[in-house]
Amino acid sequence: MIHEMKRLTTRIGAYDPLDAAGYERLGGFRGLRQALSKAPADVIGEVADAGLQGRGGAGFAAARKWSFVAAQERHPKYLICNADEGELGTVKDRLLLEGDPWAVAEGLLITAYATGADVIIVYIRGAYREAFCLWKELAERVSAELRRPELWTAAAGRAAPELRVVRGRGLYIAGEEMALIASLAARRPVSASKPPYPAEKGLFGMPTVVHNVETVANVPLILADGAGEYRTVGTEEEPGTRLFSLSGNIRRPGVYELPIGSTTLAQLIDDLGGGTLDGRPPKAVQPGGGTSALLSAAHLNTRMSSADLRAAGSSAGTGGVIVYGADRNAVSIVDELLGYYGGESCGMCMPCRVGTLKMREIVKRLLAGDGCAADIGRLRAVGETCVKASTCGMGQSFPLPVLSALKLFPRDFESLVRVPPRTRTPDQEQSR
Amino acid sequence: MSMETISLMIDGRQVSAAEGTTILEAARTAGIHIPHLCWDPRVEPIGSCRLCAVRIEGRNSFFQACSTTAVHGMQVTTEDAEIAALRKGILELIFADHHTACPTCDRDGNCKLQDYAYRYGADHDRFGAAEASPIRSNYASANYGIAYVSEKCIKCGLCVKYCETVQMAEAITLAWRQERTAVTTAFGVDLHESPCELCGGCIRVCPAGAMLDRKAIGKGRDRNLNRVRTICPYCGVGCQMDLLTDPVRNRIVRVTAVPGSPINDGNLCVKGHFGFDFVSSEERLTQPLLRKADGFAAVTWDEALDTIGTRLRRIREKHGPEGLAFVSSCRCSNEENYLMQKLARAAAGTNNVDQCATTCHAPTVAGLASAFGSGAMTNSVREIRDCDVLFVIGANPTEAHPIVGLEMKRALRRGAKLVVCDPRRTWLAARAHVHIQHRPGSDNMLLNAMMRFIIDEGLQDRAFVAERCEEFDVFEENLRAFSVEEAAIYCGVKAEDIRQAARLYANGSPSAIFYTLGITEHTCGTDNVRNLANLAMLCGQIGKWASGVNPLRGQNNVQGGCDMGAMPHKLPGYQNWSDDAVRAKFERAWDRPLPTNPGGRVTHFVEEAGAGTLKALYVMGEDLVVSEPNQAKVVRHLRQLEFLVCQDLFLTETAKLAHMVLPGACWAEKDGTFTASERRVQRFRRAVLPPGEAKPDWEILCLVSEALGYPMHYADPSEIFSEMARLTPSYAGMSYARLGDEGLQWPCPDPDHPGTRFLHEGTFARGKGKFQPIGFQPQKEEPDESYPLILSTGRTLYNYNSGSMTRKTGIIRQKESANFVEIHTDTAARYGIADGDRVRVRTRRGVVAGRAVVGERVRPDSIWMPFHFAEAPANAVTNDVFDPETATAEYKCCAAALEKAEA
Amino acid sequence: MNPEQAAAYRQFFSSLPSLVTAEDLFGILGQLQDELGCIPRAAIRDLAGRAGVSETRLFGAVTSYPDFLLAED
Ligand SMILES: Cc1cc2nc3c(=O)[nH]c(=O)nc-3n(C[C@H](O)[C@H](O)[C@H](O)COP(=O)(O)O)c2cc1C
Ligand code: SF4
Ligand code: SF4
Ligand code: SF4
Ligand code: SF4
Ligand code: FES
């Protein structure tokens, strides 16, 4: 039997989220104080030693982003906290935003100090109304706290960063960092080719660092107790804990914090989640949110680390574990996923803009019984083209569940083909 | 800023490129084509089509060649089996969003989408094709010029990016999402109601046949059209363009331009892109017309030439050669201008030959020649983007010289600083670092104050002044009478702005001056020009790359018209006919003695016609009634002539007064050369045949010359050009063969000379630059009680001069159909005038009406009006007082009264 | 826009500073949507003018969000 390990979630429910003093009593602001006693470069060094990686999906080393931005001389620099959390099956950021907002704020202040950011923007998913209202108020309290000389001014030697809170407007793609930056600039919220990277040319063309909420929440821990202590859990390549959002066909859905790599998918599902509703092994699981590839029951012994999940053919993504029951048909699973992602392409690049729509269309056709054998080939072709050719993570990953379903559960697709293929010569068929 | 060169391997070939270039650009320079739909050299990479995917050795994903910077030592593979398969896959998805209908598509035969589909074997129907939507209206449906076919649009974003960053009009955007994604204006308002400037750029960049020339739809597919490379016939910038013509129906179908063209880099303005309807206008003259008692009657060419010959000869016999005068045209070719002055001098025996530059840039020629020894734009358009400080005075390039305006926009994007001195708040002024909105006519006060400040602060370039200039002391002495504070009061601007402008200009590295008619069209026009020359010399801001004094010429061939000697006091190449060696050279070549009368300017011809001393006037391609000030007087005087010949495309206001009207061929119907403002001599080419019996002007001039007893024989314009080049040192190294597609910039003295980018490097044309003390003289007509406002006139983006060409174009009429008067909000309030009201502008000479445009563009003490509208001719009210040296009229300002007209 | 919304919009707009920066735009649009339940056409024009960006650009942006509702004046 495995148990949760509460590092990020330990204070949740233990203080009134607006109460800075309550937070401080529970050990808050130690990280910030420690950080301010060091040079920014040393703060970055500490985070590098801790090996902190982004929790927003891409898993990029936080300290590397920081040093790019810190090296830039232009101001204002921006720090954006990405709280748009739109990935299916993922609710961990909400828990932190509402349950321990001061820890997120503290992490942001440390990041701002280390990178030299002048403005912090927290971009909160539109549907998280409560979180937004709370943060509006919190922003004022943060600036009040920052007037305490020991918390910022005296130590940092420059004006405290300004904290702004912005609400998203129902657009999944606005969580992708380039689209997010465009959104905040009141431009069309579409992604863009990188380079240039945000660190160099971000919001309004200025150096910008974008972080997921959970990533930021790790920062105070690292500074308060040091990289060595931080590394005592997790794996060598991926230290620390992660928040796993467990949902779908599961008895006890919820957010669970575990050391990275310490548990298998099966343990997570059975020990913490209480197993599937009918007790049978699941048909499939998405271990890293709605755009991660499906794993079948055969993969349930995979450990929950990026490396292990990658080896199994999927990814750690956002830590959103979605469980599909044994009675599900793979085509209906991908139909459900495409029902959401199929409408979320930003439309900037052609493969993804058209590919989302076409995949959704083909799957619908199959489910309606109007599909032909060539449709399966088409589905795979669109998916592969999107993965290889798309600009951003959206187009590169939304087809992954479909492609994995085609590989793992080909019969589910084939059994839906009703219409005989149009008469073609073998030659033509091959060229398709 | 030194540019490092890097070297990389592309497809196994060693390629060198400037640091910072993308893989796609590097490949292009090596002649390797990487497929692309959403890339254009003029805009930042978009990255939407993904076709340019390439492989970089040692990296495992694909990279977009259009947006990945080439790095030294990189090894790039632009195509292998996997890349080809990927491209096929992408194309098949693109086709799913493109109504593929090549057989009925205007772009058929010149379409990248089509070419790539063929190359990669992409099946356009693999995912089902986008359907042609039942006629759904969009923002362009009501536009006469541009059509947007949304089902063809692949949403690459190129048109939007061009509109936003090159034209900087921001008229269109992509909007909505998913299946609804489309190009639109804000709220889908009709394009001509939007900020669209109708530059046509969105059409020219569209890779998918979704943006089309509305009038060309169905008039011919690219595969069936001829492409003729030529030069725009409108302003003096000299843009290169391609005419796509239907050889069977003998008509121009549409116009386009190719990125990388010498002056305009494939950009055009509304006139260039759309303004060719006049070519096939019903109103074109097709036969010679002879005035009879009851109006015009068509006659044969023989009869016409006979009449002209007889009557001109008779007048010359009776009144001497001085009884004849010839008006040449800046819209005609160099060859024709050369022939016209040869006709006047050799055939008719008079120096009475002139052209319209009198009305605009003669002060430039006179002023710059006296200071530097040569009167033309000293830099090239291409250099503008490298300016650090742009000093723009009395010029509104984004409207009057739009492509120069685009280069200035480009400079701004690259961080250049901008000083604009203009009584109006123009597009550039609104974005300037300093805008000096000085009182019309106070330029010299302003310039002298600036120069005084520069000297006081020690910002001048002492070494340059000492080594390269002369007569500095008198000039400096003169400045003592001026001060920034006094100038600020008289000009009505902030003293600090004057100082700031002076500092910016003097310290820029480099700075360049740009000006147009706001400087020249004053009684003190020549002085204004000289003072700009003073300013440039004082700061050493001339004779360098991106640094100099740049008059922007109005008409397409003003520069050439002047170069060709179509003016009384100069022979081709500004050679003096009083110089014996020069005389001898021309007399030998022309086999006639040269006349010695001083000759007059166009304004004098009009005066002398009225006085009865001038008997016959031969006008080619000019509408004096509309273009000369004080219209009623011009008509009265021209009526006095015994014989008036007009050679034109249309029956213009002037032609209506003529005794003989000859039908000329327009630019698209003949060959020749134009000389652009930047001194670039470029070939334009025949694309269609002239209507009816109309003939190229050079042919007509030869025939007339023969009728006058002086036969001239040329097989084609290149022979005329060769004769001219032989006699004109600055053109001596040029020939049609050498001009090619790029042209050559004079001076080009010998056949091995590469032409001259910028003038006065190292030494001035006249040796030393000459400082000239310039006093201040107020304008001739100060506002008073009965005429309390200052009226200025000028041009707009959409129309051109008297409008005889542009106003025949539907799209232009749709955008700007009638005369208007710009009035300051405060002034309008004082007169009880609201935006859109009809108003009347009264001066001592007449009244014109127009619609009020109320805003902050003009000063409260001034009003402004365009001069393009024949039914409301601004020049009917302007002042016919002249610059004493060049006879340029003071169009820019006169006193006026304003009143509201009843609806 | 119904009359109440129109009045609310006038009220909202008159309380804005005369110069807004591009940084504020997205937030202001959101506020409008939250307070009025829509973004009036006039707001696009007015905000574009005050922030010195084009109406076109704002229109393109606003139409991309499911939660923004554009309303005719
Ligand atoms: C389609 C798409 C949606 C995304 N949505 C989110 C999101 O809602 N929240 C988030 O933190 N990151 C999201 N990301 C990842 C961000 O682009 C970015 O990588 C991340 O915010 C960086 O933060 P990190 O380094 O702390 O992980 C998304 C990426 C893509 C491709
Ligand atoms: S992959 Fe999709 S979401 Fe990403 S830029 Fe392309 S169209 Fe937009
Ligand atoms: S744009 Fe090209 S591919 Fe499309 S219909 Fe026209 S010619 Fe065919
Ligand atoms: S014609 Fe020019 S200004 Fe008008 S929409 Fe097209 S690109 Fe923009
Ligand atoms: S109209 Fe043409 S250029 Fe514009 S987005 Fe569509 S395909 Fe691209
Ligand atoms: S040309 Fe590179 S993505 Fe279109």
Residue C34 inside a domain? The answer is: yes
Using DSSP's 3-state secondary structure scheme, residue C34 falls into helix
Helix residue ranges, H only, B674-749: 697-707, 717-727, 736-739
Closest-CA residue of chain A to B69: A195
Residue the block writes with tokens 């910039």: B745
Expressed in angstroms and rounded, the spacing between residue B211 Cα and the centre of ligand 5 is 7
Q: Coil, strand, or helix at residue B858?
A: coil
Minimal Cβ distance to C56: which of B170, B176, B177:
B170
**Long-range contacts for B603-610 (Cβ within 8 Å, ≥24 apart)?**
B603/B358, B603/B628, B603/B880, B603/B882, B603/B887, B603/B889, B604/B887, B605/B325, B605/B327, B605/B352, B605/B354, B606/B633, B606/B634, B606/B637, B606/B638, B607/B637, B608/B325, B609/B637, B609/B638, B609/B640, B609/B641, B610/B636, B610/B637, B610/B640
User: Within 10 A of A325 (CB to CB), how many other CB atoms are there?
Assistant: 16
What is the distance in A from the centroid of ligand 4 to the CA of B119? 32
Give ipTM to 2 decimals.
Answer: 0.95
- Whether residue A428 is predicted with pLDDT greater than 60 in this model: the reply is no
Chain C residues with CB inside 8 Å of B194's CB?
56
The length of chain C in residues reads 73
- Please compute the mean of the pLDDT values over residues B382-398 and round it to a whole number: 92
pLDDT category at B790 given cuts 50, 70, 90 is: confident
Q: Do B185 and C56 touch (CB under 8 A)?
A: yes
What are chain A's partners, defined as 3 or more CB pairs within 8 angstroms?
B, C
Whether residue B616 contacts residue B643, with contact meaning beta carbons closer than 8 Å, is answered with yes
CA-closest candidate to residue B266, choices B43, B109, B42: B42
User: Mutate which of C20, C21, C23 to disrupt the A interface (most A C-beta within 10 Å)?
Assistant: C23
CA-based nearest distance C5→chain B, Å = 20
Q: Which residue minimizes the CA distance to atom 6 of ligand 4?
A: B202
Band of residue B373 on the pLDDT scale cut at 50, 70, 90: confident
**Chain B environment of A340 (Cβ under 8 Å):** none
Of the candidates A126, A186, A204, which has its C-beta nearest C61's C-beta? A186
List residues near ligand 6 (CB under 6 A).
B 36-39, 47-52, 64, 66
Is residue C20 situated within a structural domain? no
Residue B98: pLDDT over 60: yes
Nearest CA in chain C to A348: C64
The answer, for C39 touching chain B at a CB cutoff of 8 Å, is no
Predicted confidence at residue A376, as pLDDT, reads 95
Q: Which secondary structure element, helix H or strand E, spans residue B641, and what is its range? A: none
Ligand 6 nearest-atom number relative to CA B35 = 1
CB A258 within 8 A of CB A304: yes
* Closest C-alpha to B355, from B638, B703, B641, B618: B618
Residue B546, H or E segment:
none
Distance from CA of B301 to the nearest CA of C (A): 56
pTM (two decimals): 0.92
Tell me the C-alpha distance between B765 and B122, whole Å.
61
| Three-class SS state of B421 | strand
**Å from CA of B685 to ligand 4 middle:** 27
Q: Find the ligand nearest to B207 CA.
A: 5
| Ligand 3 binding pocket includes B273 (Cβ within 6 Å) | no
Q: Per the structure block, which two tokens stand in for B435?
A: 């805008």
* Model confidence band, residue A332 (pLDDT cutoffs 50, 70, 90): very high
Task: Give yes or no for residue B2 having a pLDDT over 50.
Answer: no
Query: Which among A192, A350, A431 is the nearest to B93, CB-wise?
Result: A350
Q: Average per-residue pLDDT in chain A? A: 93
Block residue for tokens 């702005």: B497
Q: How many CB atoms lie within 10 A of CB B213?
A: 22
CA dihedral A45, A233, A321, A134 (to 10 degrees): -60
Provide residues of A within 8 Å CB-CB of chain C.
Answer: 119, 126, 164, 166-167, 169-171, 183-190, 204, 346
Amino acid at B24: L
Q: How much distance in Å is there from the Cα of B207 to the middle of ligand 3?
A: 9
Q: Assess whether pLDDT exceeds 60 at residue A288.
A: yes
Q: Could B178 and A347 be called an inter-chain contact, meaning their C-beta atoms sit closer than 8 Å?
A: yes
pLDDT band at residue A299 under the 50/70/90 scheme: very high
Span of A310-319, B217-226, B411-420, B433-442 with lowest mean pLDDT = B433-442
Ligand minimally distant from the alpha carbon of residue B130: 3
Q: How confident is the model at residue B29 (pLDDT cuts 50, 70, 90)?
A: very high
Query: Is residue C32 assigned to a domain?
Result: yes
pLDDT at B873: 60
Q: Which residue in chain B has the smallest CA separation from A194?
A: B67
Average pLDDT, chain B: 89
First-residue to last-residue Cα distance in chain C: 6
The verdict on residue C23 lying in a domain is no
Cβ(B537) – ligand 5 distance below 6 Å: no
Cross-chain Cβ contact A186/C33 below 8 Å:
no
Domain count, chain C: 1
| Residue A205 CB neighbours (<10 A) | 12
Chain C neighbors of B174, CB-CB under 8 A:
60
C21 part of a folded domain: no
Mean pLDDT on B107-131: 91
Domain for residue C48, yes or no?
A: yes
- Distance from the alpha carbon of residue B686 to the mean position of ligand 4, in angstroms: 28
Mean of pLDDT values over B519-524: 75
Mean pLDDT of A68-72: 96
Cβ atoms within 10 A of the Cβ of A211, count?
28
**CA distances, B867 to each of B36, B626, B803 (Å):** 44, 9, 9
Site to substitute for ligand 4 among B172, B192, B256, most atoms within 8 A of C-beta: B172
Residue-wise pLDDT for C6-46, tens only, equals: 888 899 888 888 788 888 999 999 999 999 999 999 999 99
- pLDDT tens readout for residues A210-260: 999 999 999 999 999 999 999 999 999 999 999 999 999 999 999 999 999
The distance of B139 to chain A (nearest Cα, Å) reads 19
- Residue range B487-501: average pLDDT? 92
Residues of B with CB below 8 A from A390's CB?
50
Q: Which two tokens stand for residue B89?
A: 């896959």
Residue numbers of the domain that contains C59: 3-15+28-64
The answer to whether B436 touches B491, Cβ cutoff 8 Å, is: yes
Distance from the alpha carbon of residue A139 to the mean position of ligand 1, in angstroms: 22
Confidence of residue B1 (pLDDT cuts 50, 70, 90): very low
Pairwise CB contact (< 8 Å): A349 & B47: yes
pLDDT for the residue B903:
57
Residue of C nearest to B182 (CA): C60
Q: Which atom of ligand 5 is nearest to the CA of B158?
A: 3
CA A170 / ligand 2 centre spacing (Å): 17
Give B461-473 pLDDT, tens digit per residue: 999 999 999 998 9
Mean pLDDT of B220-239: 92
CA–CA gap between residue B778 and residue B790 (Å, rounded): 13
